[in-house]
Each structure stands twice: as structure tokens, then as C-alpha cells.
Chains A and B, each alone.
Chain A
Amino acid sequence: MEQVRADGFDEFAAARWSALLHVARLLTGGDRQRAEDLVQEALVKLWFAWPKVAEQAPEAYVRTVLVRLAARSARRRWWGERPVDQLPDRADPGDMSSAVAERSRLEAALALLSPKQRAAVVLRYYEDLPESQVAQALGCPVGTARSHASRGVARLRQILSDAVRPVG
């Protein structure tokens, strides 16, 4: 029984590891180490809930756990995450490929959002979830989730346009 559980869990973790890590990286604003920690913690929580959620929706469960862990970890003081007016680092196209530069620019812009706005934007535009599921993952009403997403997009629009201007 335990072996069956471990096999199914390992299969799920191996299949979804990369996608979960990317979501976690977007949720943490590009912090890869923190993203790995979040994915591991979410998968550990999933292990204990695996008998209940394995046949239903383990993906949704681990996504919700991931979003809440990301929001909680962002509130911790020692992460030192604070919104700032200027981007902390900019992609330098000279020594990086364009894909890496784009990713860095996006992650740096996401890092400037509040944790709720960031999670709403990632779930809405990367995971392509409907607003109801975004609200469920955030643990807030649909209107609040919609507000987080629209404000986050507006902020990203401003940040990315400001970031592109000097480069261009």
C-alpha cells in the first residue's frame, strides 16, 4: 500500500516537477532557491494528503499549497522582499541570450508586485485558470481575485514599459 502510494507520488512529482518549479519561480519573482524550497514543501504536504487527493486533483491541491506558501514566505521578514520603484537588476542583452533576458526582465517585474497580485497574475495568465479557481487558490472572493489580477497587470504594464524604454 505504501509502495503504491510512493510510486504514484513519485510519478506525479517527476511529471510535474519542472512545471511546478516554473510556477514557483514566477511566484517568487525569479528566486530559484526559494522556488525549489517552496516546491519541495508543497510536495511534502501533498504526500500526506496523497491518499485523499490522488484520485481527484493533486495538481490543483499542490498549486493552491504553492500559492499560499509563496504568499506566506513573502511575508517573512528575513526574505527582505520590499516593493521598490527601480528594478533591482536589468537584463543585459550583451552577455545573455534573449530568452534569458526576457525571463529575467519578467521575473524582476513580477518581484515588484505584492504577493497576492503576483499570484493572481501568474495563475490567470500563465496557468490560464478561470477567475473562480484563482480566487479559490488565493482563498479570497472572486471580485478580490479579479482586482488583484487587474492591478497586477496594470503595474506590470507600467514596469515593463519603463524597463523597455531605456533599453530601446
Chain B
Amino acid sequence: MDDFERDLSRLMRDTRQHIPYEPEHRQRLHAGIRARRRSRLLWKAGGSAVAVAGLSVGLALLPSMLTRAQPADHRPQPTTSPTTSPDSTPTTAPPAPSTTPTQQPETTLPATMTGSSTPSGPTSEPAGDPRPTATASESRTTSAPSAPPPSPTPTTAPPSALDSEEPSASVYPE
């Protein structure tokens, strides 16, 4: 620090004059603080109002955007379903082949059921429920013992009428 810098430093300090902190300075300062606080509150209120408005607009537009997006999501499904249909056709196909054999069970079922001793069972069952006819027609070609069980149940298990609602489940294990 040379002489000039020392003189400069001294000059800056010597020229300092004491200015008291008067009540009017204090009032002015606190008025400035209140004004700044008010402007901060206004900014915060404005910001939160903008945020709420943005959120409400977003929430209002969201359902319409979702519903608009849903058909686009479902459209590809039919195009892919025919590829999966070969797997499902065996499950849905049996009713169709069942129609052709159902005309024959009138003759075939009595032929299988004639083995049993009761003639009244076979006449009522094939007409009432199409499933036994389908199973009977299919089982006729694959396995013969599956058709006879419906007929023995009414004859061999008469004691409980309630058990007759699910006879096949209780009888098949045996």
C-alpha cells in the first residue's frame, strides 16, 4: 500500500459523519418492510391461484383425453383376436358338432343305456340338458363308461335329493 492508497483510506474514513438513526428513519424502514411483505403475499397468492387454475384445467382435460385414448387402445384387439381364435375354437366348437350327433343320440343313447336296467332315466335326460348329449356323443366315440354314470346315480343313490343337484361330481370319483 503506497502513500496515495494510505491517504485514500484515511480520506474515506475521515469524511465519515455520524448520522443518527431517527424515528422517521425507523418508520420509513418499517413502512418499506410492510410494503414488501404485502407484495410478497400478493405474489404468493397470485402464484398459488395460477397453480390451482392450472391444476383444475389439467384435471378437467384429463378425463376427455383418457376417453379419447380408450378407442385407440381397444382397436388393435380385434385384429389380434383371430390369431388367438384357433386356441379358443376347440372350446366353442363342441356345440356345433354336437348338433349333428344330437339327432343320432336318440338312437345311440338308448343303445348305450339299454345296458342299464332303468329305462326311464335316459328318455328324460337327453332332452332336458344339451350338455349330456354332447358329452355322450363325444364320449361315445372315446369312452363308453362316461355315459352310463348319470343313469346309475338316480337308481343307486336315492337317499338324498339334495345330492342329486351335483351328482356327477360325487359319483365320478367313485
Contact of A44 among B5, B12, B33 (CB under 8 A): B33
Q: Give chain B residues whose Cβ lies under 8 Å from the Cβ of A153.
A: 4-5, 8
With contact pairs A14-B21, A106-B15 given, residues A40 and B28 touching in the complex (Cβ less than 8 Å)? yes
Contact B11 A40 (CB under 8 A): no
With contact pairs A40-B28, A44-B33, A99-B14 given, residues A156 and B19 touching in the complex (Cβ less than 8 Å)? no
With contact pairs A17-B19, A21-B19, A44-B36 given, residues A10 and B14 touching in the complex (Cβ less than 8 Å)? no
Kindly supply a per-residue 1/0 record for chain A positions 75-90, scoring 1 wherever the CB is within 8 Å of any chain B CB and 0 otherwise.
0000000000000000
With contact pairs A40-B32, A125-B8, A157-B4 given, residues A18 and B20 touching in the complex (Cβ less than 8 Å)? yes
With contact pairs A21-B19, A40-B32, A44-B36 given, residues A126 and B12 touching in the complex (Cβ less than 8 Å)? yes
B74: Cβ under 8 A from any A Cβ = no
A41: Cβ under 8 A from any B Cβ = yes
- How many residues from B make CB contacts under 8 Å with A? 23
Q: Complex formed: what's the CA distance from A121 to B25 in Å?
A: 28
Q: Give chain B residues whose Cβ lies under 8 Å from the Cβ of A19.
A: 16
Contact A17 B21 (CB under 8 A): yes
Contact B15 A102 (CB under 8 A): yes
Question: Chain B: which residue is nearest A128 at the CB level?
Answer: B9
Q: Complex formed: what's the CA distance from A153 to B3 in Å?
A: 12
Q: Complex formed: what's the CA distance from A157 to B40 in Å?
A: 45
Give 13 CB contacts A-B under 8 Å: A13-B29, A17-B20, A17-B21, A18-B17, A19-B16, A41-B32, A47-B33, A48-B40, A125-B12, A126-B9, A126-B12, A126-B13, A153-B8
